[in-house]
Amino acid sequence: MFRSDIKKPSDHWQDYFYIVLGTILMAASMNMFLVPNKIVAGGISGFATVLFYLFKFPVGTTMFVLNVPLFLLGIRYLGGFFGVKTLFSTALLSVVIDLTTFLPVITRDPLLASIYGGIIMGVGMGFVFRSGATTGGTDLAAKLIHKFVPLFTIGQLLLIVDVVIIAFAAAVFHNYDMALYAVVTLFVSSKVIDGIVEGVNFAKAVFIISTHSNRIAERIMKDLDRGVTGLEGMGMYTGQEKTVLMCVLKRTEIPALKSIVKEIDKNAFIILADAREVLGEGFKTYY
**Which of the listed residues 197, 225, 259 is the one where a domain comes to its end?**
197
List 205's β-bridge partners, or say none. 248, 273
Domain boundary among 160, 181, 197: 197
We report the CATH number of the domain holding residue 254 as 3.30.70.120
How would you write the pLDDT of the chain (287 residues) with one tens digit per residue?
334 444 555 567 888 999 999 999 999 999 999 999 999 888 888 899 999 999 989 999 999 898 888 878 877 776 555 567 778 888 899 999 999 999 999 999 999 999 999 999 989 988 888 887 777 777 777 777 877 877 776 657 777 888 888 999 888 888 889 889 999 998 898 888 877 876 665 688 999 999 899 999 999 998 888 889 999 888 888 888 888 999 998 877 888 899 899 999 999 999 998 876 666 666 666 55
Dist. CA 63–CA 59, nearest whole Å: 6
Assess whether 108 and 126 both reside in one domain: yes
Q: How many domains does the chain have?
A: 2
Domain C-terminal end among 197, 224, 240: 197
Same domain? For 101 and 153 the reply is yes
Is 224 within the bounds of a domain? Answer: yes
**In a domain? residue 266:** yes
Q: Looking at the structure, do residues 264 and 146 belong to the same domain, yes or no?
A: no
- Pair (138, 19) in one structural domain: yes
What pLDDT, on a 0 to 100 scale, did the predictor assign at position 75? 73
3-state helix/strand/coil string of 31-88: HHHHHHHCCCCCHHHHHHHHHHHHHCCCHHHHHHHHHHHHHHHHHHHHCCCCCHHHHH
Residue-number span of the structural domain to which 163 is assigned: 4-197
